[in-house]
Amino acid sequence: MKVFTLILYICSAAANTCIPPYQWPDQFKSSYDCMVTGYEEAHAKIIEMGEDKVNEFDIYIKFDCMPEEIIIPEKKPVKKLLTQTTPA
């Protein structure tokens, strides 16, 4: 099974640097869901920082949706106990 982890990078073109990446706490079942959330959260963060700060520091946000393969172990076989019957 494949899941996707959202990583957000907030950067300043003026300072030519980025703060440490932020890993989204939830994983996504599809690349689509991850990307939509990435765009929504990047938009919300730009709005939160405000026009003045974004323009002053040339802030931009980029993100990755990193695929991860999750291995789900197979169920172990159930052993049946044999009961021995004694003749009457």
Q: Is beta strand 2-12 parallel, antiparallel or unpaired with respect to 22-28?
A: antiparallel
Q: How far apart are CA 65 and CA 2, in angstroms?
A: 12
Q: Is residue 76 part of a domain?
A: no
CB 38 within 8 A of CB 8: yes
- pLDDT digits over 44-68, tens only? 999 999 999 999 999 999 999 999 9
- Averages of pLDDT over each 10 residues, the chain, 88 residues: 95 96 96 97 97 97 94 78 64
- How many other β-carbons are positioned within 10 Å of the β-carbon of residue 63? 20
Please list, in sequence order, all residues whose beta carbon lies within 8 angstroms of the beta carbon of residue 37, skipping any fewer than 6 positions away. Answer: 6, 24, 28
Q: Is residue 79 in some structural domain? A: no
For the entire predicted model, the pTM comes to 0.74
Helix, strand, or coil here: 10? strand
Q: Is residue 87 part of a domain?
A: no
Domain count, the chain: 1
56 within domain boundaries: yes
Structural domain including 63 reads: 2-69
